[in-house]
Amino acid sequence: MSLRTTVLVAAVALVDDENRVLIAQRPEGKSMAGLWEFPGGKIEAGETPETALIRELKEELAIDVTEACLAPFTFASHIYEKFHLLMPLYVCRRWKGIPRPVEGQTLKWVRANRLVDFEMPPADIPLVAMLRDLL
């Protein structure tokens, strides 16, 4: 078995007042373009998953989230061809601002039981059933 680099990524299920979850479509030019995912991004050196999410949500969606509003929920561990992805998933129900697609991505608010209708990266798929059961 070849050794793969572990990539740490933090993601969040933003849940609105109607219990819908925000998903974003990966824009053209990125790996896995066209697939839908939960907002988030790579955890940089020296960052905690929570600080990475706060930074990424500000950069990608122009919203402000506090660490107290990020509830750890579950995680994904998936081996891709060139790396191993470890991704904690948080649930967040409170933020400041209205999420908007700063990086040109498409956003959709989706009921948890409809998330299966959207093609997602392999690491995200097991998270869908868990969110459906939560919401």
Binding residues: 26, 37-40, 60
Provide the H-helix boundaries in the chain: 49-61, 125-134
Q: Which residues are annotated as a binding site for 8-oxo-dGTP?
A: 26, 37-40
Q: Which residues are annotated as a binding site for Mg(2+)?
A: 40, 60
Q: What angle do CA 119, 76, 114 make, to 5 degrees?
A: 35
Q: What angle do CA 91, 29, 101 make, to 5 degrees?
A: 40
Q: How many CA atoms lie within 13 A of 53 on its CB side?
A: 25
Other Cβ atoms less than 10 A from the Cβ of 90: the count is 23
